Structure 1
């Protein structure tokens, strides 16, 4: 991330009703981040699109299958090293306190680590 703009993060789950909107709500005011959320299902509240992935610096996927969906359906839109898999199953309601605690614990540390790793490799740093 450059000092000229915020890190753009899209949170991805299946229906965009519970997990990714929770993450978006939690991190909406995180300093230095712009966030959005989307789902991989056709009938998701906000379907994940090529445009949204092109906007994002990083895609935070709730499960491996969401990353795999991006790889197969929107191939080449975002590099693999810009996709983070959290491993959070679809077992939570919107703003479930356990989900909020899990996201709050996992996301900032993992994103900071990912951004640090990416920016150390100039060939993949593209405006991060």
Structure 2
């Protein structure tokens, strides 16, 4: 079973990634390299021993866009070997 949380790196995000989110996570997965860079800049020490994966999915979709949801499901399943 997977437990997931979603958060953004922008101050305008519905939920901005927090210290608690990073501490809670075993693995961090982001859509674009710029998201990883922002998280590393903000949470360097907390991310030291956590894998941070970049999916290379452009962050140009609307919230819960069906196409985005499908891309995320496929990419994450492949990444975590849960296909």
Query: Is residue 2:51 matched to residue 1:57?
Result: no
Query: Is residue 2:54 matched to residue 1:85?
Result: yes
- Taking structure 1 as the reference length, the TM-score comes to 0.57
- Extract unaligned runs of 5+ from structure 2: none
Give the RMSD, CA atoms, in angstroms. 1.9
Structure 2 CA distance for aligned equivalents of residues 51 and 63 of structure 1: 22
Q: Which has the higher strand share?
A: 1
Greater relative CO, 1 or 2 (CA 8 Å, sep 6+): 1
- Change in Cα spacing, 1:84 to 1:71, as seen in structure 2 (3 Å) is same
Aligned to 2:81: 112
Aligned to 2:63: 94
- TM superposition shift of 1:96: 2.2
Instruction: Give CA-to-partner distance per residue, 1:57-84, whole Å, 9 cap, x none.
Output: 0111011011111111111212365111
Q: Which has the larger radius of gyration?
A: 1
- Extract unaligned runs of 5+ from structure 1: 1-31, 114-128
Structure 2 CA distance for aligned equivalents of residues 63 and 79 of structure 1: 19
Query: Is residue 2:38 matched to residue 1:69?
Result: yes
Runs of 4+ in structure 1 off by over 4 angstroms are none
Asked if 1 retains the 8 angstrom alpha-carbon contact of 2:32 and 2:58, the reply is yes
